[in-house]
Amino acid sequence: MKVINVTKPFELSINDIPNYEIEKDDDVIIKVQYGGICGSDIGIYTGANSLAKYPIIIGHEFVGRVEKVGQAVKHVKVGDFVVSDIVNSCGHCYACRTGHHNVCKNLNVTGVHVNGGFAEYAKVRSENVYFVDTDKISEKTACLIEPYAVGVEINTRADVKAGDKVVVFGSGPAGLAAMQVAVARGAEVLITDVFDERLALAREMGATNAINVKEHSLHEAVAAFTENEGAHVVIDAVCSPQSILDALDIVAPSGRFVVLGTGATPSEIPQVAFTKKGINVFGTRLNNKRFPEVIELFEQGKVTPEKMITHTCKFTDIEKAFDVIKNEKNTVCKVLLEW
């Protein structure tokens, strides 16, 4: 079978490897149909994802039909259309024991630490597999379940609720997913970007306000949006050293700040930025069993993930897809690979 392999930064190839076989009773082998490219996939390719291991078959946003199952698998069967969570935890460390398996001390992430789904077939643990009713969710749209699970995790970490004034930095897929989940919970959301085309999409997807921070003052926009209170919640999907400082500037006293970044570049943050306002700062990673909630949001039409899909390429055109993401930042949102 053919796989997309990154051996080290900037070295990507399509290789043939032997087909997967069932080895454990809880194994599920999926014939992949679509895969969504995430910023972290590009980060693995460029070396910017500090959490990655090499060599690796990348890809963690993937869907397809069950090809084979182990003897213990009962909740899905051969032929079912499914999506797979990517969190593989040990189950016994402190994080797992306290219900935070997405930050397990011994965490293995599909497509980051263990081989992922940018391949003709993927092999995953049955506990990570969820049935998708294609009468209610299209096969392409199902690729967005994983990024929306991240959006739910972000909102859950920050306890976003009705009446909150939320500011999201960045109108890429992560920012849009977090924004739509917040709106579905009854919050008002101001979202930022530097491209008008992205901001137009954000408005179409339900943002209360969307501002181009190259053309408008972030501080003034947030002051007007929050009636000078400051943002109750700030979600940083830009993930630069400067964006952290901006977030600490605009967050309200006693507000909540959620950090998404996986880069290792340090940011100079004065201690008083935390203590003066008494804010709560949350790191967030992946998702903590949020797929069922996302599937329900999709089925009920409370979010519109299909609006994110701007490009679809054959999986053999992976490098072309990366170029599109790099060179068409103003118009590209979610790029899917098709098998």
Tokens found for residue 191: 């979202």
Closest-CA residue to 286 (of 33, 120, 95): 95
Separation of alpha carbons 41 and 15, rounded Å: 17
Q: Are 316 and 292 in contact (CB under 8 A)?
A: no
Separation of alpha carbons 335 and 330, rounded Å: 13
pLDDT exceeds 80 at position 48: yes
Separation of alpha carbons 177 and 181, rounded Å: 6
In this prediction, residue 77 has a pLDDT band, given cuts at 50, 70 and 90, of: very high
Separation of alpha carbons 327 and 321, rounded Å: 10
Separation of alpha carbons 122 and 85, rounded Å: 12
Separation of alpha carbons 188 and 209, rounded Å: 8
The residue written with tokens 């989940």 in the block is 181
> Whats the size of the chain, residue-wise?
339
Taking every pair of Cα atoms in the chain, the longest distance, rounded to a whole number of angstroms, is 60
Single-letter amino acid, residue 183: V
Round the average pLDDT of the chain to a whole number and report it: 96
Single-letter amino acid, residue 225: F
Q: What is the pLDDT of residues 189-200, one digit of tens each?
A: 999 999 999 999
Q: What is the pLDDT of residues 229-273, one digit of tens each?
A: 999 999 999 989 999 999 999 999 999 999 998 777 888 888 998
The residue-averaged pLDDT of 192-216 equals 98
Q: What is the pLDDT of residues 136-154, one digit of tens each?
A: 999 999 999 999 999 999 9
pTM over 0.85: yes
In this prediction, residue 221 has a pLDDT band, given cuts at 50, 70 and 90, of: very high
The residue-averaged pLDDT of 12-33 equals 97
Q: What is the pLDDT of residues 86-120, one digit of tens each?
A: 999 999 999 999 999 999 999 999 999 999 999 99
pLDDT of residue 122: 98
pLDDT exceeds 90 at position 227: yes
Grouping H, G, I as helix, E, B as strand and the rest as coil, residue 24 is: coil
pLDDT of residue 263: 75
pLDDT of residue 172: 94
pLDDT of residue 291: 98
pLDDT of residue 51: 82
Grouping H, G, I as helix, E, B as strand and the rest as coil, residue 131 is: strand
Separation of alpha carbons 101 and 157, rounded Å: 14
Residue 60 contacts by C-beta under 8 Å, 6 or more apart in sequence? 38, 40, 41, 86, 109, 110, 111, 112, 116, 117, 146
The percent of residues in the chain predicted with pLDDT above 70, rounded, is 100
Q: What is the pLDDT of residues 271-314, one digit of tens each?
A: 998 899 999 999 999 999 999 999 999 999 999 999 999 999 99
pLDDT of residue 49: 84
pLDDT of residue 262: 74
What torsion, rounded to 10 degrees, do the Cα atoms 308, 312, 316, 322 define? Answer: -40
